[in-house]
Structure 1
Amino acid sequence: MDRAPGVSVRLKLTLSYAGFLMVAGGLLLAAVWVFLLRYVPERAMLINPDDNPTNGVFPVRSALLDVFAPRAAAVLAFLLVFGLVGGWILAGRMLAPLTRITDATRMATNGSLSHRIRLPGRKDEFRELADAFDTMLARLEAHIAEQQRFAANASHELRTPLAISKTLLDVARTDPNRDTGELIDRLHAVNTRAIDLTEALLLVSRAERRSFTREHVDLSLMAEEATETLLPLAEKHGVTIETNGDITPTTGSQALLLQLTTNLLHNAIVHNLPEQGTVWVNTSVRPKTVVLTVENTGEKLTPELAATLTEPFQRGTERIHTDHAGVGLGLAIVTTITHAHDGTLTLTPRSAGGLRITVELPATAPHTGR
């Protein structure tokens, strides 16, 4: 925003300090003068009347004013100079942290997010502001780095099916006798994967922008619907799904929360034991939150590996080679949707193998409308 030049804050504070000091000094001198007027008579008899041959009476207040006024003026002049000089120095010292914050802001505006203020000293308003600004810069830097990494990974993931399609088409063009049915099937599979990836990217973008209408949602109903949808997939993998829990009312996008639940359940089914695996889906209510928990049996995971599973296009070593590896955005979408609904996501490896994923969202009163 373009603004017209104005008086600096330091000068304003200096004038304020000096003005306050002048007012305080003036009030003090006025109090002294009132005190003198109260206890000093207007006239007094001289001890030696010969000094005033008229009547021997001396005008005390008039003489006192002649003495007091120039000295009071000198005191006020000193207070003015002292207030200006001292105010300028004090204002400079007080505003020094603000100058550092302003310099850091300018550097951040120019694209340098790695700079930190790190204001020393004990806690006060300026240091709270500096610490909050440093925290904001750290989050911005991490978010931008994550977005850049996400964009690079997404470009790589999208380039793969496009490169495969180009290769298949080049082969078909150079070999007219090649079986077109096989070629069409492979192109269809590659194209489907590219479409799925594009839709997943659009879903992540939509959730990050929070461009959705909030409505009353029951997570337990989302869990039931996701279970019914994925039951054939679970049967195909020999996985048993056990669902139980309470009514869990919250607010948000019904479509996004259903996608969240479906992704969690799909992930638990696909990344399970080769046979006789189990998935547990549970919903519960806490004092201020509702909780959706999805657990599954499977290979043992380390906490370090579990912490990376929510990153886009990151998969465990044993998980990337499955037939249903997906597009690598399942848990990343879950993370984005959870954060868009002001919730928290927790991944905990089970001691017996598998993973426990907990989504905690703000609770609301049960919706009674029809």
Structure 2
Amino acid sequence: MTYVDRAPGLSVRLKLTLSYAAFLMIAGAGLIAVVLVFLLRYVPDEAIVTPPRHAPGLGMRPLPGDFVPGRSDLWDAFAPKAALMLALLLVVGLVGGWILAGRMLAPLHRITAATRSAGGGSLSHRIRMPGRRDEFRELADAFDGMLARLEAHVAEQRRFAANASHELRTPLAITQTLLEVARSDRDRDTDELLDRLQTVNTRAIDLTEALLLLSRADRRSFAREPVDLSLAAEEATETLLPLAEKHGISIATDAEPAPTLGSPALLLQMTTNLVHNAIVHNLPEHGTVRVATGIRPDGVVLTVENTGERLDPRLVATFTEPFQRGSERVHAAQAGVGLGLAIVRSTVEAHDGALTLDPRHDGGLRVTVRLPTTSKGGTL
């Protein structure tokens, strides 16, 4: 893990404390200045002392004269008390600001601790900050959501790595076994051995190419060009028509223009994978596949439906995971390498689209791909 080498500085709590105290001092000084100016408007420049006067009816006893303080007298009396008040405000601002800043930054310490825990590899940790929604709690909730997505992604990648290792090891182990048998049995039919080796090698090549295609889609390392999904659907169905006829599957195509931007090769592969899965995972005979494209208010849509046995929605939710082949991990001749829908999902996500898998009520599967639409000029 790489850390930025930073020079030491003041803590945020101390900065907030100083800010609170400075604001309180400025507000207090401003209030004292306003009061002082208001008082000085009604005070003469110099002190005024009136001579004693005699009040009638009191035996001519003199009364003391009046004393009106001047501005200098008012300032001498006001300045020490104002200074004392500012000192008290400074103490209150520092102490109160330190306490308030600590309370305000307490959620941030929990977020920091969770971040360090996640940096150490503990992706299962969650902040789960209580209380009403505010900026800190929105940040904590967003961080919890990010950790959940990272944990799911890491778990998926680990499953993918384990499955890929298993799938790649299988053809290599079979090849090694065939070679060992051939070495020990010199009279074994060479043509049969070569045919089996070619089959195993072809499967290994297909798996490797599928892994590379999946990696390319995940990295989004492709140039975006105008693509019409209807043309991709027509090409995919035409290419797979012999396979459909071999399985006794009929294909119906309703290809309306569906312009989008993306990689022509990846989108064609995506469509081909969907049609291939619909043909292979179908009824034993008299099955149907329906491929449709069109424009909807939320973008362009590609829909591939196929008949088949009824599927559990919980099982359907796992179909886009790598090396999942429906209800059983079979290795039939046309079963593929288990990456078809994983490539479809990665391709859709790389094109900022959405993929939906729904089991049909009568059996089979409906796959819907939604991609952003584009104008004739090719701009989103």
TM-score by length of 1: 0.95
- Rounded Cα–Cα distance in structure 1 between residues aligned with 2:116 and 2:378: 52
- Rounded Cα–Cα distance in structure 2 between residues aligned with 1:57 and 1:296: 107
Shift in Å, 1:319 = 7.0
- Rounded Cα–Cα distance in structure 1 between residues aligned with 2:51 and 2:225: 100
Tell me which structure has the larger Cα radius of gyration.
Answer: 2
- Rounded Cα–Cα distance in structure 1 between residues aligned with 2:188 and 2:78: 116
TM-score by length of 2: 0.92
- Rounded Cα–Cα distance in structure 1 between residues aligned with 2:22 and 2:66: 45
Quote the residue 1:264 is aligned against. 274
Shift in Å, 1:320 = 2.4
Shift in Å, 1:349 = 1.1
Q: CA 1:56–1:347 in 2, change beyond 3 Å: closer, same or farther?
A: closer
Query: For structure 1, which segment, 24-33 or 294-303, has the greater mean C-alpha deviation from structure 2 after superposition?
Result: 294-303
Quote the residue 2:57 is aligned against. none
Tell me the SS of whatever aligns to 2:24: helix
Give runs of aligned pairs for residues 1-370 of structure 1, distance below 5 A.
1-49=4-52, 59-317=69-327, 320=330, 322-367=332-377
Shift in Å, 1:301 = 1.3
Shift in Å, 1:43 = 3.4
Q: Is contact 2:260–2:378 with CA below 8 Å preserved after alignment?
A: no
Query: Sequence identity, in percent?
Result: 73
- Rounded Cα–Cα distance in structure 2 between residues aligned with 1:297 and 1:247: 25
The one-letter code of the counterpart of 1:74 is: L
Q: CA 1:319–1:228 in 2, change beyond 3 Å: closer, same or farther?
A: farther
Residue segments in structure 2 that go unaligned for 5+ positions in a row: 54-64
- Rounded Cα–Cα distance in structure 2 between residues aligned with 1:256 and 1:368: 18
The one-letter code of the counterpart of 2:246 is: K
Shift in Å, 1:215 = 1.2
The one-letter code of the counterpart of 2:185 is: D
Q: Is contact 2:355–2:369 with CA below 8 Å preserved after alignment?
A: yes
Q: Is contact 2:233–2:255 with CA below 8 Å preserved after alignment?
A: no
- Rounded Cα–Cα distance in structure 2 between residues aligned with 1:8 and 1:48: 64
- Rounded Cα–Cα distance in structure 2 between residues aligned with 1:318 and 1:102: 45
Q: Is contact 2:227–2:260 with CA below 8 Å preserved after alignment?
A: yes
Tell me the SS of whatever aligns to 1:308: coil
- Rounded Cα–Cα distance in structure 2 between residues aligned with 1:294 and 1:26: 75
Shift in Å, 1:40 = 2.1
Tell me the SS of whatever aligns to 1:43: coil
Listed one character per residue, the Cα deviations across residues 43-64 of structure 1 (whole Å, up to 9, x for unaligned) are: 35335559xxxx9875522111
What is the CA RMSD across the aligned residues, in angstroms?
1.8
Tell me the SS of whatever aligns to 1:283: strand
Q: Aligned residues, how many? A: 365
Q: CA 1:59–1:303 in 2, change beyond 3 Å: closer, same or farther?
A: closer
Q: CA 1:127–1:368 in 2, change beyond 3 Å: closer, same or farther?
A: closer
Listed one character per residue, the Cα deviations across residues 123-176 of structure 1 (whole Å, up to 9, x for unaligned) are: 111110110001001100110010001000110011111000000000011111
Shift in Å, 1:238 = 1.4
Q: Is contact 1:249–1:367 with CA below 8 Å preserved after alignment?
A: no
Tell me the SS of whatever aligns to 1:39: coil
- Rounded Cα–Cα distance in structure 2 between residues aligned with 1:319 and 1:367: 45
- Rounded Cα–Cα distance in structure 1 between residues aligned with 2:225 and 2:217: 15
Q: Is contact 2:261–2:378 with CA below 8 Å preserved after alignment?
A: no
Q: Is contact 1:290–1:363 with CA below 8 Å preserved after alignment?
A: yes
Q: Is contact 1:271–1:319 with CA below 8 Å preserved after alignment?
A: no
- Rounded Cα–Cα distance in structure 1 between residues aligned with 2:224 and 2:177: 45
Q: CA 1:159–1:318 in 2, change beyond 3 Å: closer, same or farther?
A: closer
Listed one character per residue, the Cα deviations across residues 235-266 of structure 1 (whole Å, up to 9, x for unaligned) are: 11111111113211111111100000000000
Shift in Å, 1:322 = 3.7
- Rounded Cα–Cα distance in structure 1 between residues aligned with 2:133 and 2:377: 45
Tell me the SS of whatever aligns to 2:210: helix
Shift in Å, 1:225 = 0.9
- Rounded Cα–Cα distance in structure 2 between residues aligned with 1:317 and 1:44: 104
Query: For structure 1, which segment, 55-64 or 257-266, has the greater mean C-alpha deviation from structure 2 after superposition?
Result: 55-64
Q: Is contact 2:258–2:301 with CA below 8 Å preserved after alignment?
A: yes
Tell me the SS of whatever aligns to 1:304: helix
Shift in Å, 1:366 = 2.4
Q: Is contact 2:171–2:204 with CA below 8 Å preserved after alignment?
A: yes
Q: CA 1:139–1:318 in 2, change beyond 3 Å: closer, same or farther?
A: closer
